[in-house]
Every structure is written in structure tokens, then in C-alpha cells.
Structure 1
Amino acid sequence: MLHSPYNVLFLCTGNSARSILAEGLLNGLGRVRFRAYSAGSAPRGEVHPLALATLQSYALPTDGYRSKSWDEFAAPGAPKMDFIITVCDHAAGETCPVWPGHPMTAHWGIPDPAAVEGDEDERRKAFHDTARALKRRIGLFARLPFERLDALSMQAELGGIGRMAGAA
């Protein structure tokens, strides 16, 4: 069906927390097999510091991340995406650009850790809970037998990962 490395774009509204975590986790877990990217429909302009601290706690790189528009990935010369995964409810309902190559899409809604109010420990916990849920889903995704799945089966698997009970 597809060939490795697979390009995966994680979308969220602000591209400051969930999509950044997903990008970092897949690049860390999927190393050779995947290239992950992230973007937002209305980027905040900065990456949330707790997103970077959470990636660091997983011993993943924290440099090079920036909050950017999804328009960058719909423009000529952008990497061709194989998969586009929304990780927040707002981005899932928005009208997305037309993606070159018609990649597979899925929605893996996760609560926004940046919206959690409270003390520093509560906010850190929210980011770690989000990362844990994303890591579980990304792990399932990375272990799919891509070479044996046809397009319909792959789409069903992607949707099933997003509907996992207790993943968020």
C-alpha cells in the first residue's frame, strides 16, 4: 500500500501542546519508519513550555519545535503526507486545506492539557497524562502491519485507535 518512511502530520488548533507532543513522540518511537510533523489551524505562535518539559522527561529532543500553520503543509514543495491525524476536537471539525496526495485521515481527540487550571503540579500532570495517552495510540499505530493492510483496513485501524476507551 504505502512505503516507509511514512510522513505523518498531527493537527490541532493552536499547535502548542498536543500536536507538538504527538510529533515528538512519533519521531522518538518511530525513528526510521516515520517522519512526524505538527501544525495548527490557528497557531498560537509559541510552543507551550510544559510540552517541551514533557518531551524532555521522555528523553526526547526539545529543540526545533515551533507553532506553525497547517497552510505550510498544503503549499507547493511541502512534504507529501501519508497520514493526517487531528488530536483536538476543534481541528477535527474545521475545513482543512486540500492535502496533496489525499492522505489517510483520522481523529484522535485528546483533552487539551494547556487548558487545565491549577497549580504547577496539576498542570504538569495534565501534560504527562496527555503524553501517556498519545504514546499509547502512537505505539499502536507504529506497530500496524502497513505492508499487509489495504486502504480500507488501514482507515478502520486508524479510526479504531482514535476511539480507544480509556486512552485519553
Structure 2
Amino acid sequence: MSRQRKILFLCTGNSARSQMAEAFVRAYAGEWLEPHSAGLEPKGLNPYTVRVMDEVGIDISGQTSKSVRTYMGQMHFDYLVTVCQHAEENCPTTFLGFGTKLHWGFDDPAAFAGSEADTLAVFRTVRDQIGAQVKTWLAEVKETVA
């Protein structure tokens, strides 16, 4: 049996997008991929992120916001996925220890300002985009990774 592969999702605040991606991988492929997430400037887990993930049956209330420094030099990742343009442009060049680097750009739902209903709608849209991207990517790599 092959070893479990590791994937790190990186964004700016590690409050929404990277947390969602980590949770989707854990839910869909946790038996063959070990997901992690981190931020360049961690801001804490956004409560709307927890709410919209709960709506699709994924409890992330126990996840925490972490700095990319937590992982630098500590763990090898088979995949590093940036989920925002800021992380793509500012990923530490000294961050050795990853195999394949990917970029999946998503809008930042935490940057939206509006009513609670409108904010939830934005978070749901981004959640659904991330969930679809994760499913598509998992289908592409499962044959070579699992």
C-alpha cells in the first residue's frame, strides 16, 4: 500500500477558502490524501465558513487558522495549492518541501460587505466553486495517487 499523500491549501487569511478546500478533501478523499491549510497572515476561522460548510454536512468547527510558517521545513507536501492571487504572488520562495504547485483562484468571500443573507450567498457560491474544483481535481489524480 502506498503512503498517504499530503496536500496544503494556502491563502492569505486561512479563514475561508483554504479551510473549505481542506475540508472537502478530507470529506471526499481523506483515506488517500492528508489535507492541511494555512495562511500567509492567519485571521482565524470565519464563522460564515463554518455555517456554509455545515449546510453541506461537513463540520469544520474544530479546524483552526494556521500560519504557513507552521509547516515550513516541518513537512513535505506532494501538492501545494494556492487558492487566492495574493498567496500565489507571495508564497514564500523559501518554502521547500512540496512536489506539485497548483493555483486555483477564488474570490474572497470574507472581503464581501453586505447583509447577512447576501454574505451567506457569497460564501455559498465560493463554497460550491471550491467543492466542484476539488471533485474535478480528485477525479483527475486519483488513479495516480490513491
Offset at residue 122 of structure 1 (A): 0.6
State the partner residue of 1:30: 29
Q: Among 57, 62, 65, which residue is 2:63 paired with?
A: 65
Q: 4+ residue stretches of structure 1 with deviation over 6 A?
A: none
Distance in 2, matches of 1:148 and 1:37, equals 20
Q: Deviations over 1:106-134 (max 9, x none)?
A: 11010000111110111001111011101
What is the 5 A alignment of 1:69-84? 69-76=67-74, 78=75, 80-84=76-80
Alpha-carbon distance in 1 for matches of 2:98, 2:23? 24
Q: Which consecutive residues of structure 1, in runs of 5 or more, have no partner in the other structure?
A: 150-168
Number of corresponding residues: 144
Aligned residue in 2 for 1:96: 92
Contact 2:20 2:53 in 1 (8 A): yes
Q: Percent identity?
A: 28
Paired with 1:62 and 1:95, the residues of 2 have a C-alpha distance of 25
SS of the equivalent of 1:64 reads coil
- Conservation of the 8 A alpha-carbon contact between 1:25 and 1:138: yes
C-alpha deviation, 1:6, in angstroms: 1.9
Equivalent residues of 1:4, 1:34 under 8 A apart? no
Unaligned runs of 5+ in 2: none
Q: Is 2:125 the partner of 1:126?
A: no
Q: Which letter does structure 2 place at the counterpart of 1:21? A: M
Tell me the secondary structure at the aligned position of residue 118 of structure 1: coil
TM-score (norm 2): 0.90
TM-score, with structure 1 as normaliser: 0.79
Q: Is the 8 A contact 2:40 2:91 kept in 1?
A: no
Q: Name the structure with the higher strand share.
A: 2
Deviation at 1:52, TM superposition (A): 0.7
